[in-house]
A and B are shown apart, each in its own frame.
Chain A
Amino acid sequence: MNAGLIGPIVSLVAGGLLASVSVFGLISSQTAAPSKSPANAEAPAFDYGTTTE
């Protein structure tokens, strides 16, 4: 194969892979249920934040 073609082909494959990974990540992030409710109606005040622990 012409050496000049290898670079563009590798770039295209890598670019396609990267695009697929980010689209998959984005879709799964947008469709996932939130792990915790953003606000607790029972609490006396709004939480400033939530830790992961």
Chain B
Amino acid sequence: MTDAGARSTARSTARSTARGLAPILWSAALAVLLLGGALGPGYVLTYDMVWVPDLAVTPDVWGVGTALPRAVPSDAVVALLDSVVPGMLLQKLVLLALLVGAGAGASALVGGRSLGVRVFASTLMVWNPFVVERLVIGHWPVLVGYAVLPWLLLVCRRWEAGSRVPAAVPVLLVLGSLSASTGVATAVALLAGGWRRGARRRAAGLVSMAVVANLPWLVAGLLHSADATSAGSGARVFAASSEGPLPGPLAALSLGGIWNAEVVPTTRLGFLSVVWLVVVGALAILGWLAQRRTAVQGWSALVVCWTVGVGLAMLSWAAPGAVGALASHIPGGGLLRDGSRLLALAAPLTVVVAARGVESLLGWTPDRATRVLVAGLLAVVPVALLPDAALGASGRLDAVDYPAAFSDARAAVQAAPDGDVVLLPFTSYRAPDWNDGRKVLDPLPRFLGRPAVVNDELYVDGRPIPGEDPRAREVGEALRLATPADRATALADIGVSVVVSEQIAGQDAPEVAGETTYAGDGLTVTEVAGDVSVRDAPVPWVVAMVVAWLAWAALLVGGAVVAARNRFRTRQ
């Protein structure tokens, strides 16, 4: 090859690499802008998102506690990883990685289109109401699953009939199944993307892999089946909801409509939500028309995912009574009560079809300069239409430090006799001053590093939604007894050895008899007086969960080993 030829090849390779990296770098820039203060020193503590310096491996983490396994397997994964990477750093890496992964995945799913189209796809996937609302409410495992979806659909699209299972599939499945609802979404995407007409063995393989990837929470849920039905009233409360001027169905179409009005960005309550729907809707219609001329690869899988995601959201909005009946009579039916959680499934089609619309628009531009200008403009449209998502949802995701008293209380609790911890006031949520008054699931149960009995009763609009944990009910009854000595005896009988009381204005913490081993900065640690009847998990439960975890780990490790081996062979 001549020098000129070599230079031309090198330039072409560099250009191709830059084009491949651009959506990733763009997604990273968007992720940094979106997370803002979340990336500063400290922990992001918002609603259900609770990260601590070192999450202990307790029975609840493995799914053999008495509470419903809502954080299985995500807590187990965090508990194992944060023994290698500090919890603070791990949280930031996870939040960054899921956003970059989602943006890069959308770009890859759109395929070999122009750079402007792929960058737009990244923006829309990273910067939309679903991502912002789920970030603020703290559903990070849902967002990990959301980031997995485009990659899973892409791998399934390339998975030819008759060939072996791509090594990435089991890894993506496990990553995308860190909680029950996101596991369901990932399974739907796998079946929609991987199913081929007439291929029965392949279909059986898909179902088997989806089951194994979800086995930890499935088995834990079955073990708790006696308590695994949720209050039907929750379905009405958690149904997909209107957002500002958009009624529920239109909010769902624009990837919003979360039940909790407190986590909705303020601009979604005004005219910008309508502009968002009109602009993205117009691009989607353009893209759909273009798709009819030249089919998008994997179109049917995208449509199936979208239909399931939007369909369930609309069902919860239109018929919350039916969803409530499902939740209150069928164990696990409560998975569907948060109607808009599975809207993650609608994002891949929305992004692909809107990106196709952008491609059509760019095709009408008269010259390259105009094309670049229009592409640049469109790439920032999703940001401009949801501007208060920037800088950690306008500061709502700012990281904070735990008070020093938490570490002192942890040391006192660790030194207490065997048994469980109870946190007082016996309520599930806090809004501490040191978290800028922002609500968060009480972080102490995770921070203290001991099994804890937590009140799983929730209050929404000031009205209670009953919990499911029978042990929490027992603790509640013990705390209602007349004297501190009676409370201590009753708590000891049900296996509680230590009580941590927090001073919260307006909320009472009943006194419990015992020895105070720590008191400071609003926290009191009391070792309960009396003989504690420590309760171990039933042996059959432990055996069942060990089998489930081993199968889950085998799927993950097997996939990772095959992927590494394939990569090694390719490089050779």
The residues of A with any CB-CB pair to B shorter than 8 Å are 3-4, 6-8, 10-12, 14-15, 18-19, 21-23, 25-26, 28-30, 32, 35-36, 38-53
Inter-chain residue pair count (beta carbon < 8 A): 135
Nearest neighbor of A15 in chain B, beta-carbon distance: B377
- B240 CB, min distance to chain A CBs, angstroms: 11
Complex CA distance for A49 and B103, rounded to whole angstroms: 29
Residue on A with the closest CB to B368?
Answer: A7
Given A8-B373, A40-B462, A41-B506, A46–B47 Cβ distance below 8 Å? no
Question: Do A26 and B267 have beta carbons less than 8 Å apart?
Answer: yes
Q: With A21-B272, A46-B431 in contact, do A51 and B237 touch (Cβ < 8 Å)? A: yes
CA distance A40 to B439 in the complex (A): 12
Shortest Cβ distance from B259 into A: residue: A51
Binding site secondary structure of chain B: mixed
Interface residues in chain B, defined as those with a beta carbon under 8 Å from any beta carbon in chain A:
47, 137, 237, 241-243, 259-263, 265-267, 269-272, 275, 365-367, 369-371, 373-374, 377, 380-381, 383-385, 387-388, 394, 425, 427-431, 437, 439, 457-462, 505-507
Q: How far is the CA of A2 from the CA of B506 in the complex (A)?
A: 71
**How far does the Cβ of B320 sit from chain A's closest Cβ, in whole Å?**
10
With most chain A CB atoms within 10 A of its CB, the pick from B384, B394, B427 is B384
Contacts of B271 in A (CB 8 A): 25
Once bound together, how far apart are the Cα atoms of A35 and B269, in whole Å?
10
Quick check: A49 and B460 within 8 Å, CB to CB? Answer: yes
A50 touches B261 (CB 8 A): yes
Known: A29-B388, A40-B462, A50-B260. A11 touches B429 (CB 8 A): no
Which residue of the partner chain, among B241, B267, B385, B458, contacts A48 with CB atoms under 8 Å? B458
> How many Å lie between the Cα of A39 and that of B437 in the bound state?
9
- Please determine whether B461 and A51 come into contact, CB atoms closer than 8 angstroms: yes
* Interchain CB contact under 8 A, A7 and B388: no
Bound form: Cα–Cα A19–B418 in Å: 60
* Known contacts A11-B374, A48-B458; is-contact A25 B429 (Cβ 8 Å): no
